[in-house]
Amino acid sequence: MKHLTIIVPDGQTNLSTLASIVGAYEIFAVANKYWKENGKNEVFRVELAGILPQAEFYNGMFSVRPQTNIANITKTDLIIVPSLVRDFQEAIGGNKQLIDWVGKQYKSGAEIASICTGAFMLASAGLLDGKSCSTHWSAEETFRNMFPKVNLQADKLITDENGIYTNGGAYSFLNLIIYLVEKYYDREVAIYCSKIFQIEMDRQSQSAFSIFKGQKQHGDEMVKEAQCYIESKMNEKISIENMSARFAIGRRNFDRRFIKATGNTPLEYLQRVKIESAKRAFETSRKTINEVMYEVGYADVKAFREVFRKITGMSPVDYRERYNNSI
């Protein structure tokens, strides 16, 4: 039987941390039970492990008593790291012992799955350097600034690379757990668990849920001015060449500085600003696809649809039908 460790971090105030611990534990318990009922040996022995006898959540409203201390676990096969508080520096600093233990276990052959902002713990251990990962879309800018060596793919719901699994935000952790159930048990067990817990299987993107606010946590004032210019001219056709000339800088250097500061090329940033505005229009109005398209500065329906799908993973029609119940 394999050993599964679900980490109980210290000093967490988010209810999502507690939810991801409980949710992961429950789904694996059901998978084990179903596996056993079909005449097979349980795949995992599941343990909650931490560094304190009791961890409190949401200002003491809830508490979890780990079944064991991590010091008592010399070998484990799979580790699940739950989401962390939004003060990532504090969460990392207060759990250094856990971080070191996770890194040691990975080097000894354990696989690791991080839920939502739990990716900050893996990145702080150096386990994600040069690898792809995901995290909650709202933490994208902070993560990129803190861990530039990591290939963050914030549009991905799940990443799977070299025995490390990460997932996007909040309750999408349920999709990650189903993914792990299929990997360690089989497709039949994963389908059974998805039906019991009513989890949509095989989701691959969190793009439709993201809200683009523009990455401005950087020190390049020229790029900030360019961002503000783009946002103020969102409904117009903007030439990137003309914009670079406006700031008296060559196009190549302009692109380089923009990418370094924001993680996007100027064109990608412009597209994301326009599509975010289009999303809000589809959510809150009864405007047609063409009306919204013209409002955000597109004149070609095909081009608008292609960019919208690239950024959200959905067509404009599908997005409007999902998020506007007045249609």
| Domain annotation for the chain: domains and CATH numbers | 2-207 (3.40.50.880), 221-323 (1.10.10.60)
In 3-state terms, the chain is what percent helix, strand and coil (to 5)? 50, 15, 35
- Rounded CA separation 254/245 (Å): 9
Which residues are registered as beta bridge partners of 112? Answer: 79, 164
Mean pLDDT by 10 residues, the chain (327 residues): 93 84 97 95 95 87 93 96 76 75 95 94 92 91 90 91 92 94 94 94 78 81 93 88 92 93 91 93 93 94 95 92 80
Alpha carbon of 208 to those of 293, 302, 311, 313, 322: distances in Å?
18, 19, 8, 6, 10
Q: What pLDDT, on the 0 to 100 scale, is given for residue 15?
A: 87
> pTM for the whole thing?
0.75
Contact at 8 Å (CB) between 138 and 106? no
**Nearest Cα residue to 316 out of 270, 283, 272:** 283
Q: What pLDDT, on the 0 to 100 scale, is given for residue 165?
A: 96
Which stretches of the chain are assigned E, i.e. beta strand? 2-7, 44-50, 55-57, 62-64, 68-69, 78-81, 111-114, 132-133, 151-152, 158-161, 164-167
Q: What pLDDT, on the 0 to 100 scale, is given for residue 181?
A: 96
What DSSP line would sit under 124-188, residue for residue? HTTTTTTSEE---GGGHHHHHHH-TTSEE-TTBSEEEETTEEEE-SGGGHHHHHHHHHHHHS-HH
- Rounded CA separation 186/100 (Å): 32
Alpha carbon of 148 to those of 95, 252, 253: distances in Å?
21, 21, 20
Q: What pLDDT, on the 0 to 100 scale, is given for residue 201?
A: 84
Residue whose entry in the numeric block shows the structure tokens 């790029």 = 223
Contact at 8 Å (CB) between 224 and 236? no
- Rounded CA separation 172/21 (Å): 13
Q: What pLDDT, on the 0 to 100 scale, is given for residue 93?
A: 63
In sequence order, which residues have a C-beta less than 8 Å from that of residue 23 and are 6 or more positions away?
Answer: 171, 173, 174, 177
Which residues are registered as beta bridge partners of 44? Answer: 2
Q: What pLDDT, on the 0 to 100 scale, is given for residue 76?
A: 97
